[in-house]
Structure 1
């Protein structure tokens, strides 16, 4: 199913109404495991590491991930609702048709991940890492992304709406035609060529004028 979120069309997760409850624990999730058509809820996964795990057509509700690493993970048709994914390591993962709804993603590591048709809504994601990620049709709406790092990521049809991006690092990303007028971008790190053609408010333009070395005197 396709849904238009803000100005970008994203494919929603295809999740069945008939899901089997899956007890996520250290004992039943290991390298290369594949979990599908599952409902995972009201649980804690702590101090665990597994590589190349696949989650497909899975709904996570009220799940806490503490000190968890899922490198090279495959997430497809997945929704996280009211989950705590703080500091979860998803380096070099494949994330397709996924929604993060009202989740805590402080310090989440999505560096080098391939991210397609993904929505982050009402998420607290300070210090999140997206370095070298490949993002296409990705929406951030009503999120806290202060001090997050997107350096050298590839953006195609990415949108930030009503999101706090204070001191986000955006070096090496072409931001042309991206509309930041509803966001807080004070202290955003970028180069002159990165912000060329970006859509900003007059106040934001004054903030970004520091990239030109201009001193504005009142």
Structure 2
């Protein structure tokens, strides 16, 4: 997020066709299943295990997606609207042009995932796991990400608007050009060498001083 304007985040929206086929439940998933051009609403897809499942041009509305283990998941042009993905495991996922609106993401595992043009809007994401993930052109807006794990994540063109990051793990994550001034936190796990070029507010300076044992003199 080097020099992009806050009013114009460089994040492409999902591209969905005007008409989608209604896909009723129950829905079972197997390795390498592919779902395309579908609307899935008000069903539960829980506790399933499969690898390399792909969803392309799919709208999920009010879907319970908890506790699924979907390694190497592929999401392209997908919207999750008011869905519950708590404790789902999407390690190594490839997510391109996706939007999460008003979703529960507590404990969601996106470790080693690649995210391109992804929006998280008004989501509850406490303990979300983005360890070693690669994020480019990603927007977090009005999100609750307390104790989220970004350990050694790669952040490029990542925008954080009104995000609660208290207790987040950012060690090993280069924050050059990342603007934290609109975020709320009392403590972060972060390494001094990774803060070079990070943008913070004057009010946050005391937080970082406390983190590193510094004393601010009035």
TM-score by length of 1: 0.93
Structure with more contact order per residue of length (Cα contacts < 8 Å, sep ≥ 6): 2
Query: Where does 1:150-165 land on structure 2 (aligned, <5 Å)?
Result: 150-165=150-165
The residue correspondences of 1:87-166 to structure 2 (distance < 5 A) are: 87-166=87-166
Distance 1:66 1:176 in 2: 34
- Say whether residues 1:22 and 2:62 are aligned partners: no
CA gap of 1:24–1:156, structure 2 versus 1, over 3 A, is farther
Equivalent residue for 1:34?
Answer: 34
Deviates more, 1:167-176 or 1:96-105: 167-176
* 1:175 match: secondary structure: coil
Residue range with higher mean Cα deviation, 134-143 or 205-214: 205-214
Q: How far apart in 2 are the matches of 1:5 and 1:212?
A: 29
CA distance in 2, matches of 1:180, 1:99: 22
2:9 equivalent to 1:8: yes
Cα separation, 2, equivalents of 1:85 and 1:5: 28
5+ residue gaps in structure 2? none
Judged with a 3 Å threshold, the aligned counterparts in structure 2 of structure 1 residues 99 and 139 are, in CA distance, closer, same or farther, namely: same
Q: Structure 1's 135 and 195: CA in aligned 2 closer, same or farther, altered over 3 A?
A: same
- 3-state SS in 1 of match to 2:157: strand
Counterpart in the other structure of 2:187: 187
Q: Which structure 1 residue ranges, 5 or more long, are not aligned?
A: none
| Number of equivalenced pairs | 214
After superposition, the C-alpha distances for 1:94-120 in whole angstroms (9 at most, x for unaligned) are 000000001010100000001000000
**Matched-pair contact (CA < 8 Å) for 1:41–1:63:** yes
Structure 1 position 87, deviation (Å): 0.8
Q: How far does residue 6 in structure 1 lie from its aligned partner after superposition? A: 3.6
Quote the RMSD (CA, aligned, Å): 1.6
8 Å Cα contact 2:164-2:185 kept in structure 1? yes
Q: Distance in 1 between matches of 2:214 and 2:112?
A: 34
TM-score, normalised relative to structure 2: 0.93
**Which one has the bigger strand percentage?**
1
| Distance apart, 1:213 and its partner CA | 2.4
